[in-house]
Each structure stands twice: as C-alpha cells, then as structure tokens.
Amino acid sequence: MKIVKTVAELSGQLASYRKENRKIGFVPTMGALHQGHLSLVKEAASQADVVVASVFVNPNQFNNADDLKRYPRDLSKDAAMLEAVKCELLFAPDVNEVYPEEDKRVFDFGSLETVMEGKYRPGHFNGVAQVVSRLFDMVKPDKAFFGLKDFQQLAVIQNLVQQLNLKVEIVPCAIIREDDGLAMSSRNALLTEEQRKNAPEIARTLFDSCNFVPELTIEALKKKVHDEINKSSELEVEYFEIVDGYTLQAVDNWTDSNYIVGCIAVFANKIRLIDNVTYKNKDHEY
C-alpha cells in the first residue's frame, strides 16, 4: 500500500489508476480504525477495482475543542490495518493540505440538519460537508462507502452529492458491532472499563425495543428506551428520536412512514456514543 500526504502525490497515483481504467472505491475516515472501517474497505474492494482510503481528523466538524483533542490518533497502526485488507492507497494529509485557506462555505441541508446530531452539535454537518466535498474533489471516486451507524451523516452526504451534482455513488454499509452488541466506534477506545461494561446496554435496549412495535405508541417507546438506558449509572441519553428514515423528521405514529428508524446519542461521562435501529423498512434491504 502506498501512503501519500499531498494532493500532488495523490493526483499522480490516481492518474495511473485511471489510465488503467480502474474504478476507484473511496473510504474516507478520521483514523483510529476498527473492524467497522475495515468492513467498508472490504465492501469497496468487492465493488471497485482499487480502494483508496483517507485518514484525516477534520477539525472543522468538531464543535467541541476537547473532543478534537481527545480524538485517538495512530497513523502507523491505521496503515497496517488498511494494508491487511488490500487498501492500495492511503491519503493522510495534514490540515494545510486539505484547507490551504479557511473554508468559509456554508451548506444548507434544510431540516436534515436541524434535528438530532445537527441540533446537538451545531456546525458539525457543515464541517463534514466541507471535508467530504474537498476529499471527493481530490479523489474523484466512482463510489464512496459510509457506515449506517452515522445515519444522519449518510443522509446529509447523499444530499450534498445531489446539491453539488457529483458523479460519485454513495454506498451505505451495515453497522458492525462488537460481540456484545456495542456498535463499533473509534470513541469506544476512550471508555473506562466500567463504561465499556455498561455501553452494550444501548444496543441491547434498542434491539429489545423492536419487540414492542407497533404495540407501544411512539411516545411510550421513546420513554421506555430513555428510562432503561438511564438506569445505568454510567449512561445518560442525550436524545432518542424515532424518525422517518428519509426526511429524518420525527414520526408520531408507526403508520406515518414506510421507513422508520430510532436514532440515539448517549453520554458515558464525556464520551458520546451514537447508534440506531431500523423499526420498519419496506424499501431497503441492507
């Protein structure tokens, strides 16, 4: 696997793939890789001729300076993991390479960004859109792979691609979980032993909640999930919303949409974990 740090080196390498007519699959990451990221690379390898990954901790998407400082970084470990799953090219730029000057673009994702993550992390999705649009411009991938754990991010990126009329196909990929159900996340490494022991309660409660659909009303199910997770002394729900999977707007009844998803953010002290569960999906098979 080649590792490049500049756009010039990246472009040179990409030009050789294009000359050979190889379709490029792209997996953008912020590093601190785990099996979830590697599953994206494997999916990319199965759908494209060459896999390009990026590792870049994007300062513009952190609305909390401590969260940015705490974010785990280990490029040589990440590179070894990517190489093992047949990634051919790793782009690991520094901040000046991605943002030679301040990115002042302001995107408008309408009601997709005023709820859930967008509501609790103001500016987050604008930062995601800035970096993803820049990376897409640099890599010009045929396909790009994103995990469904970041459910709202996926919707925002699909909207970004439409707005900018980009040629890239966005491929949603299944959530990868630890054996005890906890959704894989780079932030899991920051949990204390006690928090880590309690964290699977999030997924357990979400999965269990599916057994009460449609018997419980949406309001009652939301309360049940909240109360159950908050029973753990280590966990505190920030939000739990049951939404239309396309518009991300809250639904009041199980009959309001063909695609209904429960999205949650939970604090384990300062560590913020997100997850989601699909209650109803008549249109998609993931």
Residue 37 appears among annotated catalytic residues: yes
Q: How far is the CB of 103 from ligand PAF (least distance, A)?
A: 13
Residues 6+ apart with CB under 8 A from 202: 182, 183, 229, 235, 264, 266, 273, 275
Helices marked H in 7-115 — which ranges?
A: 7-19, 35-47, 65-70, 75-84, 95-98
Q: How far is the CB of 127 from ligand PAF (least distance, A)?
A: 8
Q: From residue 195, how far is each of 64, 189, 192, 203 by CA, in Å?
A: 21, 11, 5, 14
Q: Which two tokens stand for residue 209?
A: 């909640």
Q: How far is the CB of 217 from ligand PAF (least distance, A)?
A: 33
Which amino acid is residue 172, in one-letter code? Answer: P
Nearer to ligand PAF, 29 or 257 (CB): 29
Q: How far is the CB of 28 from ligand PAF (least distance, A)?
A: 4
Q: How far is the CB of 230 from ligand PAF (least distance, A)?
A: 27
Provide the sign of the torsion angle of the four alpha carbons 110, 131, 45, 150, taken in this order.
negative
Give the interface with ligand PAF as residue ranges (CB under 6 A): 28-30, 58, 61, 128, 131-132, 150, 153
Nearer to ligand PAF, 30 or 112 (CB): 30
Q: Which of 224, 112, 208, 123 is nearest to 159 (CA)?
A: 112
Distance CA 51, CA 143 (A): 10
Nearer to ligand PAF, 190 or 218 (CB): 190
Q: Catalytic residue among 34, 37, 124, 284, which?
A: 37
Q: Which residue has the tokens 């002290």?
A: 269
Distance CA 205, CA 93 (A): 39
Nearer to ligand PAF, 29 or 126 (CB): 29
List the catalytic residues.
37
